[in-house]
Amino acid sequence: MIGRDLHCHTCFCDGKNTPEEMVLAAIERGLTTIGISEHGYTAFDSSYCLSLEKTEEYKAEMRRLKEKYSDKIEVLLGIEFDALSDLDTSDYDYVIGSAHYVRCGDKYLPVDESPSDFEQICREYFGGDYYAFAREYYRTVATLANKKIHIVGHIDLIAKFNEGNRLFDMADPRYLAAAKGAIDALLPLNIPFEINTGAISRGHRTEPYPHKLLCDHIKQKGGTLILSSDAHTAENLCFKFEEFEYLIK
């Protein structure tokens, strides 16, 4: 059994439950460690992340829970840091580095908003060329190599709405070269890449991130993988960990 889950969200951002409800659910599941990783503040999009004011409240609440449940479970104060943000993350126990946007001029374009937004962005900014879109996305992912992070989050988030290769072929050499380039840039950090089951629990996909070909590449190159749920509700903590545990072996 996997005894920890380090990627989840609460009502401080876009999740449903309070941090305390998440901690209690983790205790009930018998976890040894629960890490909450709220979306760090991004000035260019405040719709889903911690505000600067809420950031302080979040830290204080997590410290309270750490103390209160210290004899039952290890509670870690995490943050999900966006590749295009410049947030100071020195206050946190750990940092998940994730890319959720690409930048075109002064525009920050989300890759995980909705299928229709995703397709519209590709048409408008990349002339409908998903491989060009992917190149720019993975170039952004690779910049995480220069940040202080401890886990690489959902490295192929750009495939969120591409179930069944609906829009582009994830085995296409153009796509794989871009994705493997980002992985190779991050491998020297010697930190785990997550296998993220969040898009399955939210009904967008049937397979976790990253794609199997990328998991194989990470393993071949000596990288490590950990499971995380990206849960936005207490019931989705450790979502399908038993089913996908074989991927991290």
Interface segment toward Zn ion; rule CB under 5 A; list 28-36, 70-78, 199-207, 227-235: 227-235
Asked if 201 touches Zn ion (CB under 5 A), the answer is no
Contacting Zn ion within 139-158 (CB under 5 A)? none
Which parts of 8-47 interact with Zn ion (CB under 5 A)?
none
Category of 203 on φ-ψ map: left (φ > 0), alpha (ψ -120 to 50) or beta: left
- Binding segment for Zn ion (CB under 5 A), chosen from 26-34, 59-67, 229-237, 238-246, is 229-237
Pick the stretch among 102-110, 136-144, 201-209, 224-232 that binds Zn ion (CB under 5 A).
224-232
Which C-beta is closer to Zn ion: that of 98 or that of 233?
98
Q: Which of residues 84-143 bind Zn ion (CB under 5 A)?
A: 98
Total residues in contact with Zn ion, by rule CB under 5 A: 3
Closest to Zn ion by CB, 45 vs 129, is: 45
What distance in Å separates the CA atoms of residue 137 and residue 142, rounded to the nearest whole number? 9
Q: How far is it, in rounded angstroms, from Cα 130 to Cα 158? A: 10
Whether 214 and 194 have beta carbons less than 8 Å apart is answered as no
Provide, rounded to whole angstroms, the least separation between the CB of residue 17 and Zn ion. 14
Starting at the edge strand that comes first in sequence, how are the strands of the sheet with 33-39 ordered? Answer: 4-5, 33-39, 74-82, 94-98, 151-152, 193-196, 225-228
Per CB under 5 A, does 230 bind Zn ion?
Answer: yes
Nearer to Zn ion, 47 or 70 (CB): 47
- What Cα–Cα distance (Å) separates residue 60 from each residue in 52, 63, 94, 104, 147? 13, 5, 16, 36, 24
Residue 194 sits in the site that holds Zn ion (CB under 5 A):
no
The CB-of-220 to Zn ion minimum distance in angstroms stands at 25
Shortest reach from residue 158's CB to Zn ion, in Å: 12
List of residues contacting Zn ion (CB under 5 A): 80, 98, 230
